[in-house]
């Protein structure tokens, strides 16, 4: 008799844990929905997700395509081209299938939003305008000294004086 009541008690405890976990999951889902974030996980079509072999093939294909795009972006960093944009495009491709890439993209989006908010702060804007003005004055003075000394002659045509 004791074992039966014990099992019922364990079942009640397990049900309570499940209810709390479901409530927490629902709360997290509501928070994500409020922030406009999609749930983590694969975005492959259902018929692909239903077949394990097809889904693994799909993931390999997405990984290879994302890797090619990220590699092209890394190559573009020292060369002409939008390197960082292409790298984030590759991460977005990975983000369609892999939760870790989705988390990296969320973190990046959050940091970019925070930086944009800081840049819009009036004190920061004032400081940036002052620093830019000082830099432009320095460049103008250096250009004036150059034109006064050498005239409108390109540096590769300057002869020893």
pLDDT over 80 (residue 71): yes
d(CA 92, CA 85): 10
d(CA 1, CA 136): 88
pLDDT over 60 (residue 11): no
d(CA 111, CA 89): 17
pLDDT of residue 4: 47
pLDDT of residue 131: 95
pLDDT over 60 (residue 87): yes
Query: Which residue is it, tokens 């925070």?
Result: 114
The helix (H) or strand (E) run that includes residue 89 is helix 83-95
Instruction: Calculate Rg over the CA atoms of the chain.
Output: 29
Distance from first CA to last CA of the chain, Å, rounded?
110
pLDDT over 60 (residue 161): no
pLDDT of residue 5: 46
Torsion angle of C-alpha atoms 138, 139, 145, 150, degrees rounded to 10: 170
Question: Whole-prediction pTM value?
Answer: 0.51
pLDDT of residue 154: 66
Better pLDDT: 90 or 9: 90
pLDDT of residue 12: 46
Per the CB < 8 A criterion, the answer to whether 90 and 96 are in contact is no
Q: What is the pLDDT of residues 103-142, one digit of tens each?
A: 988 898 899 889 888 878 888 889 989 999 999 999 999 9
pLDDT of residue 1: 46
């Amino acid at each position: 008799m004791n074992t039966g009541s014990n099992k019922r008690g364990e079942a009640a405890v397990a049900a309570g844990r499940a209810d709390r976990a479901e409530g927490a999951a629902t709360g997290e889902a509501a928070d994500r929905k409020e922030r406009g974030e999609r749930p983590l996980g694969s975005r492959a079509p259902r018929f692909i997700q239903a077949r394990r072999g097809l889904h693994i093939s799909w993931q390999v294909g997405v990984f290879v395509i994302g890797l090619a795009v990220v590699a092209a972006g890394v190559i573009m960093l020292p060369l002409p081209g939008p390197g960082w944009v292409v790298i984030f495009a590759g991460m977005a491709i990975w983000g369609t299938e892999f939760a870790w890439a989705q988390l990296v993209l969320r973190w990046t989006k959050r940091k970019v939003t925070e930086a944009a908010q800081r840049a819009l702060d009036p004190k920061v804007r004032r400081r940036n305008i002052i620093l830019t003005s000082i830099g432009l004055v320095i460049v103008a003075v250096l250009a004036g000294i150059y034109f006064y000394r050498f005239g409108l002659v390109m540096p590769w045509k300057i002869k020893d004086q």
